């Protein structure tokens, strides 16, 4: 028995709907993964820096700061004081690196390397 006109339209509608979702699903999944990765990064920055305001965390992310590079941010005031006279002597460098160790910045880590520059 041949398909009736309404059945053909219904089947065509389903086919179009299926095709739409075949094209959209990968894009939506990719976007969801991007959002999850951003949230993971945001949480890592918050944990490392103590910053909790979403706008501040988003600004750091826009600057390319990630969880492991956020930890040295807590050292910025100490580094600024050490550089206040325009030089960084061995005693000041040692104090900064010692404080970094107290802040769980492991020697050989990316964070530690940033502070050694």
Confidence check: pLDDT of 2 > 60: no
Query: Helix 5-49 crosses helix 54-62 at what angle (to 10 degrees)?
Result: 90
Domain ranges (residues) in the chain: 1-65, 67-117
H helices of the chain, in order, are: 5-49, 54-62, 67-70, 76-82, 90-102, 110-116
pLDDT in tens, 16-74: 787 888 888 889 899 999 999 999 999 999 988 888 999 999 999 999 988 877 877 77
Predicted confidence band of residue 3 (pLDDT cuts 50, 70, 90)? low
């Amino acid at each position: 028995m041949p398909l009736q006109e309404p059945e053909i339209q219904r089947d065509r509608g389903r086919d179009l709907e299926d095709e739409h979702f075949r094209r959209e699903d990968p894009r939506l999944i990719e976007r969801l993964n991007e959002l999850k990765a951003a949230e993971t990064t945001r949480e890592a920055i918050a944990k490392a820096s103590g910053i909790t305001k979403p706008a501040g965390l988003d600004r750091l992310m826009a600057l390319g700061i990630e969880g492991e590079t956020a930890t040295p941010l807590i050292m910025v005031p100490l580094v600024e004081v050490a550089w206040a006279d325009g030089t960084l002597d061995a005693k000041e460098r040692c104090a900064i690196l010692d404080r970094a160790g107290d802040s769980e910045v492991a020697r050989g880590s990316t964070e530690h390397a940033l502070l050694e520059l």
